[in-house]
Amino acid sequence: MAKKLVIKVTAGADAPERCSQAFTVAAVAVASGVEVSLWLTGESSWFALPGRAAEFELPHAAPLPDLIDGILAGGGKITLCTQCAARRGIEEKDLIEGARIAGAQVFVSEIMPDGVRSLVY
């Protein structure tokens, strides 16, 4: 099994099933003992802000706030893309507790080591 899983989610409310799948896989991986790093890019960037995940609805899917809580409680990391944050006027002080802003250099450093798997939704 991979030692670490890095998931980049590019979809938000614009593609709810793809978005939900990314958060669900991240939460299940954390619960299974996998080290997880979830990257929010594109429209998923908004979920780095307090209260925004609660606005997301998808029938027969786990609530996004619950998935985020599970990821963070299990030691997973949530990162908002630097450029995506800048384009949306989001600053570090605006983020949910436990999230951070970082750029492509950090993403590449996370996905390159042996034993890491990466997924893009």
pLDDT tens by residue, 62-109:
999 999 999 999 999 999 999 999 999 999 999 999 999 999 999 999
How buried is residue 19: exposed, middle or buried, by Cβ count under 10 Å (0-12/13-18/19+)?
buried
How far apart (Å, rounded) are the C-alpha atoms in residues 13 and 68?
Answer: 16
pTM (global) more than 0.85? yes
Look at residue 20 and give its three-state secondary structure. helix
How do residues 3-59 score in pLDDT, each as one tens digit?
899 999 999 999 999 999 999 999 999 999 999 999 999 999 999 999 999 999 999
